[in-house]
């Protein structure tokens, strides 16, 4: 199994390592599907007693065999490009879930349009993930900044922390911080 979108992998590896450094042993986290969140998962293999909720089959397979990990997945329709499950059944799964942290992926980060995705299929699922987490970390490489995709998830204030790479412009960094969002550079 492999993800179909594998651009900017060095940037995504750095973001994954920076994001994983925020996860402590024993935590409950949600990992969205995508290439950057897969890099977060790669960097979590040395943690102890994690509870991981993910809609990504590749992440579940990677972390599911780690002793002491509890991995949970929603049902739903399989989406090959992101190796993920989506749809209304996936959304319902998150109704009674609580996690300390969500590591969220996006297709585009626009200061006007907000967080955008390439399709409508994942909007409700990502909203449900956001509602289930006490802290939302957006993990996206700098090439997604000032880019608008097809469907709007919501305003940038859906996230508390944005983790990106050092390719972010000074102007974009100031704009993010001016909106009260913590910015972490990998």
Structurally, what CATH architecture does the domain formed by 9-185 represent?
3-Layer(aba) Sandwich (3.40)
pLDDT of 5: 60
**Stated pTM of the model:** 0.95
pLDDT of 1: 53
- Reduced 3-state DSSP string for 82-143: HCEEECHHHHHHHHHCCEEEEEECCCEEECCCEEEECCCCCHHHHHHHHHHEEEEEEECCHH
Residue 53 confidence (pLDDT) above 90:
yes
Residue 12 confidence (pLDDT) above 80:
yes
Domain boundaries, the chain: 9-185
């Amino acid at each position: 199994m492999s993800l179909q979108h594998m651009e900017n992998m060095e940037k995504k590896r750095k973001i994954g390592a920076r994001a994983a450094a925020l996860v402590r042993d024993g935590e409950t986290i949600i990992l969205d599907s995508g290439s950057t969140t897969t890099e977060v998962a790669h960097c979590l293999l040395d943690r102890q007693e994690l509870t991981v909720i993910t809609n990504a089959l590749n992440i579940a397979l990677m972390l599911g065999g780690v002793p002491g990990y509890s991995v949970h997945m929603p049902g739903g329709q399989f989406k090959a490009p992101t190796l993920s499950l989506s749809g209304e059944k996936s959304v319902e799964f998150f109704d009674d879930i609580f996690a300390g942290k969500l590591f969220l992926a996006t297709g585009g980060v626009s200061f006007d349009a907000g967080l955008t995705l390439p399709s409508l299929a994942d909007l409700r699922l990502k909203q449900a993930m956001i509602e289930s987490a006490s802290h939302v970390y957006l993990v996206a490489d700098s090439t997604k900044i000032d880019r608008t995709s097809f469907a709007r998830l919501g305003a940038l204030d859906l996230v508390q922390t944005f983790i990106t790479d050092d390719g972010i412009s000074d102007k974009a960094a100031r704009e993010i911080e001016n909106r009260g969002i913590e910015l972490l550079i990998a």
